[in-house]
Amino acid sequence: MKLPIYMDNHATTPVDPRVFEAMKPYFMETFGNAASRNHSFGWQAEEAVEKSRKQIADLIGANPKEIVFTSGATESNNLALKGVAEMYAEKGNHIITAATEHKAVLDTCKRLEKRGIRVTYLPVQTNGLVDLQMLQDAITDKTILISVMYANNEIGVLQPIAEIGKLAKSKGVLLHTDATQAVGKVPVNVIKDNIDLASLSAHKMYGPKGVGALYVRRKSPRVQITAQMDGGGHERGMRSGTLNVPGIVGLGEACALCHAGMPEESKRLAYLRDKLRGKLEKELDEVYVNGTTEHRLPNNLNISFAYVEGESLLMGINDIAVSSGSACTSATLEPSYVLKALGAGDDLAHSSIRFGLGRFNTEEEVDYVAAKVIDVVKKLRELSPLYEMAKEGIDLAKVQWTAH
């Protein structure tokens, strides 16, 4: 076993060697511009791009013509929201999204608000899921788009996208889903789920960074978006810019690998994740899993160790790469807004750790991580005045703290 151990696969994943092999020829040999129509360099590049388009489409149940290549999920989210808002401005000016969305959606919505779009940010339930009744009640005759993520990047919960899709369709509202964390991990099917637009990214599924795609439905309904970049009119006019052929080949290969291995791999990851959780819960008291365990990515464990601050825990497990919802680990010095949205209290957000298992994690690594975390949590609890008070039976919620 090699240290440090990487267990932060929601942040990014390493490129699979098979993906890298597939990409290699497209840097120096088959380097053509896919838009060059009059020589073999261009044709070969185009052929590679079209193969990738099909591999992506196959993974999500789409038609290859419905795949628009982008630089990643942030761009896909921007293009979907801004593109729809602009294209459907005559139909309405209301968008519904959720409080736990990725910043690429939330901040895009904030930008749109400045342009006169009205945005409803739905709160989530304590299990992290959107309340369907609340969503239905939020829809007005001005609503043009619902944007709800497929799987959450922090807590891994899977939103009821199929139900949301059905509802959106019945109301004649478009559904966009940021499926970045879900695609390749759980079955995503744009037909079954009634999805109109979906964002995805290569580097979350063992592909390279800097490439992603936006699925844009072509039939029932035919979805149109206004391009957000001007240029050569690539990607059927929706996204100009010379295609990143090696990246696109990598994205396609990554999708094909995820597609082929998904049933087995998701079982393996769920087994490892559950083993990790079981060990932590057996050896430590007062640990809380954040978000529902029922509807969840197989590789995600987001867990709070009460009375222990997240950054100090990360310091103690410095040979393991994970992340924390603690304010001290964020640039803004605010604890995770996702955990806060669950209503668990800021103290549990400060105490949270996100484990993101991946294709290259082994059972031996999971055993090592569990033992190390248990050891450090015990040590930090010996140091924690809160743990001491809780053991004395003091209700911490009733203490008069001197907030600073």
Partner 1 sequence: MAYSNKVLDHYNNPRNVGSLDKNDPNVGTGMVGAPECGDVMKLQVKVNPETGVIEDAKFKTFGCGSAIASSSLATEWLHGKTVDQALEIKNTDIVNELSLPPVKIHCSVLAEDAIKAAINDYKKKSATKSEAVASSRV
Site string for partner 1, 282-311 (x = CB under 8 A): -------------------------xxx-x
Q: What's the closest the beta carbon of residue 343 comes to partner 1, in angstroms? A: 13
Cite the DSSP H helix spans in 161-244. 161-171
Other beta carbons within 10 angstroms of residue 318's beta carbon come to 11
Contacts of residue 87, defined as CB under 8 A and 6 or more positions apart, other chains included, come to 224, 225, 226
Q: What's the closest the beta carbon of residue 385 comes to partner 1, in angstroms? A: 4
Task: For partner 1, give the closer residue by CB, 234 or 381.
Answer: 381
Q: Are the CB atoms for 227 and 87 separated by under 8 Å?
A: no
Q: What's the closest the beta carbon of residue 193 comes to partner 1, in angstroms? A: 38
Question: Which residue from 76, 194, 199, 384 is in contact with partner 1, where contact means CB under 8 A?
Answer: 384
Beta partners for residue 96, in sequence order? 120, 146
Other beta carbons within 10 angstroms of residue 221's beta carbon come to 11
As a whole number of angstroms, the distance between CA 240 and CA 242 comes to 7
Record the tokens describing residue 366, joined without a space. Answer: 């999971």
Subset of residues 326 to 345 that bind partner 1, contact rule: CB under 8 A? 326-328, 333, 335, 345
Task: For partner 1, give the closer residue by CB, 38 or 402.
Answer: 402
Question: Which residue from 284, 347, 367, 372 is in contact with partner 1, where contact means CB under 8 A?
Answer: 347
Count, residues near partner 1 per rule CB under 8 A: 28
Site string for partner 1, 122-161 (x = CB under 8 A): ----------------------------------------
Asked about 328 being catalytic, the answer comes back as: yes
Q: What's the closest the beta carbon of residue 344 comes to partner 1, in angstroms? A: 11
Task: For partner 1, give the closer residue by CB, 229 or 315.
Answer: 315
Q: Are the CB atoms for 129 and 269 separated by under 8 Å?
A: no
Record the tokens describing residue 182, joined without a space. Answer: 């879900």
As a whole number of angstroms, the distance between CA 164 and CA 217 comes to 16
As a whole number of angstroms, the distance between CA 274 and CA 263 comes to 17
Nearest to 65 by CA among 188, 172, 214, 193: 214
Q: What's the closest the beta carbon of residue 8 comes to partner 1, in angstroms? A: 16
393 touches partner 1 (CB under 8 A): no
Q: Which residues are identified as catalytic?
A: 328
Residues that bind partner 1 (CB under 8 A): 307-309, 311-312, 315-316, 326-328, 333, 335, 345-347, 350, 382-388, 396, 401-404
